[in-house]
Structure 1
Amino acid sequence: MVLSISSHAIAPAAVLRGEGAWQGALSNISALCFRPLLLGRSRATFSLRDALASDLVGAGLAPQRAELQFDCCEDDLQRLMHEASDCDAVVAAGGGKVLDAGKLLAHRLGLPCITVPLSAATCAGWTALSNVYSTQGAFQGDVALERCPELLVFDHSLVRQAPTRTLASGIADALAKWYEASVSSSDSSDGLVQQAVQMARVLRDQLLIDGPLALQDPNSAAWARTAEACALTAGVMGGLGGARCRTVAAHAVHNGLTQLQACHHVLHGEKVGFGILVQLRLEERLGGNRLAGQAHRQLLPLMRQLQLPVSLDDLGLSAASLSDLREVCAFACREGSDLHHLPFAVTPGALLEALVGAAEPIPAVP
């Protein structure tokens, strides 16, 4: 009998969540390090990071400040490795790109990593994975890490200060867990994969109910459930079920769209949400899946309600040339792309048709 052994990095070693979680985490951080590198990027969160740095000093630590100049890219990482040479941990505070860079930096330096999401736009604070981009913001590939962060601090009072748009983007990114995992892994005989797929289904159902309510009232229980679902729970599926439960066509479309400068202002989850609509069209047209048409009809009005992009025009690509769109499709369909986790072949031409028609209603079949 041949034993099949698999390795899983499922969750951070510790997670502190709720109102005031950051203050509660200071003793945990002090137990992990003395001179952490406090990594950030956005001007919008500069004052928040100032406060975090002051709190670290007040806790008896000697933080060193550093900032990304680009997305999570090699140029920044090489520079930061020198800047962090005398640090004993990385505290990454910000959005997904900052969290990814902090995790990868800590991985390369062999240091503890503490993630402090300042929005609920992605589950990057949870996962053992980092996406790497060019200095122009074009997706290049992902890097699997040995472990999830040592500590994740999800302070509701910090996250609540993020623009509402970031939570809507997080909802789209988290919804993709079901639409991607269900098509790529639902027939797996692996018990953990099956359980990850069913968790993604429950996550989708919760977001369909709570998502609109969360955006209406950031002080509601629905907001807390939704924010934690996007930033925390969504990270579990990939760790439990593996790469096939993480990304399929929706994320492949995102990766292709990042190759165009014209839509770099669009958030990660917004591109992924658009990619879900594209994937459902591919499933319905190429895979003959009638349920995909039903899912498209259910999802399209929700995305419009959440003010998420559902068309190329919404993405800022109304003036994109056919050559630009073909570049997107060629990248999304390249060898090794997550798009090929679909149970049928997709050509760049078929993908282009689905991109253009993403927002077109799929008629119900009697």
Structure 2
Amino acid sequence: MVRSISTHAIAPAAVLRGDGAWSDALPRIAALSSTPLLLGRSGATARLRDRFCTDLEAAGLPTRSVQLEFDCCEADLERLAVESAGCDAVIAAGGGKVLDAGKLLASRLGLPCITVPLSAATCAGWTALANLYSPEGAFQGDVALERCPDLLVFDHDLVRQAPPRTLASGIADALAKWYEASVSSGDSSDGLVQQAVQMARVLRDQLMIDGAKALQDTTGSAWVRTAEACALTAGVIGGLGGARCRTVAAHAVHNGLTLLPGCHGVLHGEKVGFGILVQLRLEERLGGNRLAGQAHRQLLPLLRELGLPVTLDDLGLAGASLSDLQRVCQFACREGSDLHHLPFTVSPGALLEALVGAAEPSLLSS
């Protein structure tokens, strides 16, 4: 009898969430580390990182503060490996690329990892996965890690300080869990995968109900549900479903778009949200999926209400040349791309048509 073993890195060893979670986390950090490395990047979060250093020092934890120069890339990771000498844990505080870099650095050095998301823009604080980019910001690939972080600190007080745009981006990224996993894994016979896909459906429904309310009022319960859905629940789905609960065309489109400097200022989830529209257009036009057309008509108004990009112009690519867009499509359709988890063949030309027409009315009537 053939044994089938599946490995899942499902969740961080511990999660602290709520108002004031950072302060409550200090004793837990002290149990993991005596001399932590604090990693950040954005100037907008420098004040918070200064506070973290002060708090850690007051807790008896001398801390070395360092910064990413680029996105999560090998050049930074090599430098940080040298600068981390003498430190016994990595605390990554910031957005998704900082969290990815911290996880990957800790993994390579064999150190405990503490993630402190300073927005709800992604679920990177939760997952055992890191995306690598070039110094210019172009996606290069993802790296599966052996385990999730040792501690995740999701402090509502801190996350509320992030620009509303980051939460809208997180909503788009979390919505993609359903639109991608239902295509790649919806017919799986694996119980855990089936449950992860259904969790993604519930997550989508909740975000459609609460998303706009959350952006309007950061003090209400809708904000809490939405922020935690984006930063935490989306990670649960990826951990439970594992490698077989895959990304598909939405993230492949994101990856291709990172090649173009014109949209480097566009957030990860903003590109992914646009990619969902592209994927639904492909499912409708190439797969003849009438339900995809209905889903497109349902999703488009929400993305617009959240202020998310739905056209190439919205992405800052109004002046992009045909050759640039073709390069995006070639990359998204390259061998091994997640786009090929679609149940039909997609050529770069067909993808280009879907990119250009992402927000156009559906061809198939309801």
- TM-score with structure 1 length normalisation? 0.99
Aligned mates of 2:112, 2:84 — CA distance in 1: 12
Aligned mates of 1:76, 1:226 — CA distance in 2: 32
In structure 2, list runs of 5 or more residues that go unmatched.
none
The correspondence of residues 63-82 of structure 1 with structure 2, limited to 5 A, is: 63-82=63-82
Pairwise CA distance, 1:365: 2.0
* 2:324 is the alignment partner of 1:324: yes
Aligned mates of 1:302, 1:363 — CA distance in 2: 20
The correspondence of residues 8-87 of structure 1 with structure 2, limited to 5 A, is: 8-87=8-87
Aligned match of 2:149: 149
Aligned match of 2:261: 261
In the alignment, residue 152 of structure 1 is paired with which amino acid? Answer: L
Aligned mates of 2:14, 2:92 — CA distance in 1: 15
In structure 1, list runs of 5 or more residues that go unmatched.
none
Kindly provide the CA deviation profile for residues 53-111 of structure 1, in whole angstroms up to 9, marking residues without a partner as x: 11101111011010000000000000000001211000000000000000000000000
The correspondence of residues 176-195 of structure 1 with structure 2, limited to 5 A, is: 176-195=176-195
* 2:328 is the alignment partner of 1:310: no
In the alignment, residue 4 of structure 1 is paired with which amino acid? Answer: S
Pairwise CA distance, 1:363: 4.6
Q: Is the 8 A contact 1:237 1:246 kept in 2?
A: no
Kindly provide the CA deviation profile for residues 207-266 of structure 1, in whole angstroms up to 9, marking residues without a partner as x: 000000000000010000000000000011221112342411000000000000110000
Q: Is the 8 A contact 2:249 2:339 kept in 1?
A: yes
Secondary structure at the aligned position of 1:242 is classed as helix
The correspondence of residues 1-366 of structure 1 with structure 2, limited to 5 A, is: 1-365=1-365
Pairwise CA distance, 1:202: 0.4
Pairwise CA distance, 1:24: 0.3
Secondary structure at the aligned position of 1:16 is classed as strand
In the alignment, residue 129 of structure 2 is paired with which amino acid? Answer: L
Aligned mates of 1:361, 1:288 — CA distance in 2: 15
Aligned mates of 1:160, 1:69 — CA distance in 2: 25
Pairwise CA distance, 1:307: 0.3
Aligned mates of 1:161, 1:52 — CA distance in 2: 15
Kindly provide the CA deviation profile for residues 3-58 of structure 1, in whole angstroms up to 9, marking residues without a partner as x: 10010000000000000000000000000001000000000000010001111011
Secondary structure at the aligned position of 2:362 is classed as coil
Q: Is the 8 A contact 1:177 1:200 kept in 2?
A: yes
Secondary structure at the aligned position of 2:131 is classed as strand
Q: Is the 8 A contact 2:255 2:332 kept in 1?
A: yes
Aligned mates of 1:92, 1:50 — CA distance in 2: 13
User: Which has the higher mean CA deviation after the structures are superposed, 226-235 or 241-250?
Assistant: 241-250
Q: Is the 8 A contact 2:281 2:354 kept in 1?
A: yes
Q: Is the 8 A contact 2:184 2:246 kept in 1?
A: no
In the alignment, residue 111 of structure 1 is paired with which amino acid? Answer: L
In the alignment, residue 293 of structure 1 is paired with which amino acid? Answer: G
Kindly provide the CA deviation profile for residues 341-361 of structure 1, in whole angstroms up to 9, marking residues without a partner as x: 111110000000000000101
In the alignment, residue 337 of structure 1 is paired with which amino acid? Answer: S
Secondary structure at the aligned position of 2:178 is classed as helix
Q: Is the 8 A contact 1:244 1:341 kept in 2?
A: no
Paired residues in the alignment total: 366
Q: Is the 8 A contact 2:9 2:242 kept in 1?
A: no
Kindly provide the CA deviation profile for residues 147-189 of structure 1, in whole angstroms up to 9, marking residues without a partner as x: 0000000000000000000000000000000000001100011
Pairwise CA distance, 1:364: 4.9
Kindly provide the CA deviation profile for residues 306-331 of structure 1, in whole angstroms up to 9, marking residues without a partner as x: 00000000000000000000000000
Identity, % of aligned positions: 80
Aligned mates of 1:266, 1:306 — CA distance in 2: 15
Q: Is the 8 A contact 2:39 2:93 kept in 1?
A: yes
Aligned mates of 1:218, 1:72 — CA distance in 2: 29
Aligned mates of 1:198, 1:282 — CA distance in 2: 23
Secondary structure at the aligned position of 1:158 is classed as helix
- TM-score with structure 2 length normalisation? 0.99
Q: Is the 8 A contact 2:137 2:264 kept in 1?
A: yes
In the alignment, residue 293 of structure 2 is paired with which amino acid? Answer: G
